[in-house]
Amino acid sequence: MPMRIYPAIHYTMGGLWVDYDLQSTIPGLFVIGEANFSDHGANRLGASALMQGLADGYFVLPTTINDYIAHGGRTDVPPDHPAVVRTEAEVTQRLTALLTVHGDRTVDSFHRELGLLLWDHCGMARNEAGLRKALDRIPALRAEFWRRVLVPGSGAELNQELEKANRVADFLEFAELMLLDALVREESCGGHFREEHQTPDGEAQRDDANFGHVAAWEYTGQEPVLHRENLRFEYVHPTHRSYT
Amino acid sequence: MKLTLRIWRQAGPDAPGRMVEYEIDGISADMSFLEMLDVLNDRLILDGEEPVAFDHDCREGICGSCGVVINGRAHGPERTTTCQLHMRAFHDGDVVDVEPWRARAFPVIKDLVVDRSAFDRIVGAGGYVTAPTGSAPDAHATPVPKADAELAFDNATCIGCGACVAACPNGSAMLFTGAKIAHLNSLPQGTPERERRALDMVKAMDALDFGGCTNSGECVAVCPKGIPLTTIATLNREFRRASRPLW
């Protein structure tokens, strides 16, 4: 029987902002592998992911995290530190919120609906109309999640549904950002193929003059703020991919 | 497909457990075993009941997170991981027993979820190599004979799912520990700690609640990665080699 293959959404191809030491905006929080900015092309994502995890862990982190610790990296955060107290209160409040909705839809049903929405409108090929449609739908879906989600059990024991609900709540935020980023980037580049931007033979049409940058979106709790980090190529310059 | 499931339910590590029967209908032969459990859980949640807790992550047979005993056999009727077992392996009207890994070293956390951190402690005792980091080594700086590379790779395919322990009448972890030792000890990169690795990992294994090997071979019969019984011979050989008097 021939092997059946099917494309699927499995990489966000973007993650937390880090500096050259792989440190995030939170001092002492280092982010390696797929969870950070991600080196990705148009395909072979699994290999890119492995490459990044290995390169970060093998070559970068051993020289940067040591430096952080050597310079007195914090290990002595007391449990009554204001940041700990505030974070604990936030987490407790969020878990309580999820557990007390007592709605009529499972976490999985929201996860599936969100996944299908992204699959339809933010898949390998995307266009403005589809992205806008999905962006319109997500706030309503998120509101519905917080109104109708059904998380059984309590927070006092192993509760896989609670864990999943936490993740899906994050996915709802992250999906919106992915859509926004895909909408703003008016070019085709790597895994981002905007149907409006293609060469006559259907290849990705980049716009280096306007989009030769990495988009770093700042979380503000409201509208995310875009920071452009320009890409400078000194010796090797990007060209157009062509298999002909 | 309509099935009768009998699933081990246990609220917590110290709570008494019991088999609970569930009738389930509308199961497609193309579903994976875990998707069938998802369908059951969807229904349980909507009915106001506690869903069945079970471990899973990649669902591609490569992470080693999932694993339950199905009809008395670790990972079920086919030699694969539970996530790669499909419902076409069952028939309409079947009664399917689903239990957690049963081994003293793997205490039940909840329902079908067990604590496999004993494996982590074995790996922590020696399942690593000393490697210079910070700069890329030259390609081919360390030649590895093809046969050694293949032996190492065959053993490196172990995903640490724990089926070997669950299937063993003694609850032995020797196939797992052997795979880790054989993987690293057959490569030049693993040579600096070769003796210490064998001694320390076996010591860690013995200090946990695992039994010894009596060559029943149940482990290799259920190993989804086909780790061979000769791996246990390799473990014994490496252990004896490292234990020789140092005069």
* pLDDT tens-digit map of B76-127: 999 999 999 999 999 999 999 999 999 999 999 999 999 999 999 999 999 9
Of A59, A104, A152, nearest to B51 by CB-CB distance is A152
Strand pairing partners for A218?
A225
Q: Does A58 contact B109 at a Cβ distance shorter than 8 Å?
A: no
Across A222-235, average pLDDT:
93
Nearest CA in chain A to B10: A158
Chain A residue with minimum CA distance to B49: A152
Contact between residue B11 and residue B26 where contact means Cβ atoms under 8 Å apart:
no
CB under 8 Å to A99, separation ≥6 — which residues?
A: A151, A153, A154, A155, A162
Instruction: Give CA–CA dist A67/A198, Å, rounded.
Output: 45
Q: Judge whether B50 is closer than 8 Å to chain A, CB to CB.
A: yes
Tell which residue, B166, B158, B160, has the closest CA to residue B69: B166
| Tokens coding A173 | 């935020």
Tell me the nearest-neighbour CA distance from B45 into chain A, angstroms. Answer: 7
Q: B64 is written with which tokens?
A: 């080693």
CB A65 within 8 A of CB A30: yes
Out of B11, B45, B113, the one facing A106 most closely (by C-beta) is: B45
Whether pLDDT at B247 is above 60: no
Take residue B19 and report the two structure tokens written for it. Answer: 């088999």
What band does A165 get if pLDDT is binned at 50, 70 and 90?
A: very high
Q: Residue A242 pLDDT > 90, yes or no?
A: no
How long, in residues, is chain B?
Answer: 247
- Pick from A104, A106, A111 the residue to mutate for testing the B interface (most B CBs within 10 Å): A106
Nearest by CB to A59, from B46, B50, B136: name it. B136
Answer whether A153 sits within 8 Å of B50, measured CB to CB: yes
Beta carbons of A161 and B48 less than 8 Å apart: no
Q: Which helix (H) or strand (E) holds A213?
A: strand A213-218
Is A110 or A8 the better-scoring residue by pLDDT?
Answer: A110
pLDDT band at A34 (very low <50, low <70, confident <90, very high): confident
What pTM value is reported for the model? 0.89
* Tens digit of each residue's pLDDT (9 = 90 or more) over B123-174: 999 999 987 776 777 878 888 999 999 999 999 999 999 999 999 999 999 9
State the ipTM, two decimals. Answer: 0.88
Q: Measured between CB atoms, which of B46, B50, B113 is closest to A106?
A: B46
What pLDDT was estimated at residue B134? Answer: 66
- When pLDDT is averaged across residues A181-194 and rounded to a whole number, the result is 93
Rounded Cα distance, A224 and B210, in Å: 52
Cβ-based contacts of A158 with chain B (< 8 Å): 12, 53, 109-110, 113
